[in-house]
Amino acid sequence: MDFGGRYRVSAGRQEVWHALNNIEVLRACIPGADRIDWTGENTLELEIKVNLGIAKPRFKADLWLTGVVPAERYTLNGKGKGGVLGLARGSADVILADHGEETELTFVARGDASPRIMQFGSALIGGRAQKVIDGFFERFGEAMGAEVIPLPRD
């Protein structure tokens, strides 16, 4: 499954980068996140309750950043276990570019999951994932005090 989007953020690239790496901002933006902590320079742990409609599994996930170019890009990789539902894996490329005095943020995610999770249907999960992403960036703007406008997808 692939999903994501492009967003214009009414803040400079360095400010957006700082917010993307700030635990308090992330906690405010991720629905269902019970815990998110840096465990190393480029590693995090996350505990989250995910709403899949009729099921609401709790995942414990390890996240790690690769390809880090400060204030420009990174790839966020993750692997989580959702109890009896099994594993989910994914990665997302996060790219920041100047857009005048604002920032264009591109988020392109890929993921897959165990057959038990996929029972809910890839369309349902993909649709929920896209809603979660769009909601994340809406709350991201609120948390950092900036306007975030979704841009048309290419």
Domain spans in the chain, listed from the N-terminal domain onward: 2-151
pLDDT, tens digit (0-9, with 9 covering 90-100), for 62-108: 999 999 999 999 999 998 876 655 677 889 999 999 999 999 999 99
pLDDT, tens digit (0-9, with 9 covering 90-100), for 24-35: 999 999 888 889
What residue has token string 């920032």? 103
Hey, what are 37's tokens? 């902590």
For domain 2-151, give the CATH superfamily. Answer: START domain (3.30.530.20)
For every residue of 53-82, DSSP letters joined together read SS---EEEEEEEEEEEETTTEEEEEEEEE-
* CB of 23 closer than 8 Å to CB of 45: no
Residue 10: strand, helix, or coil: coil
How many CB atoms neighbour CB 56 within 10 A? 11
pLDDT at residue 129 tops 80: no
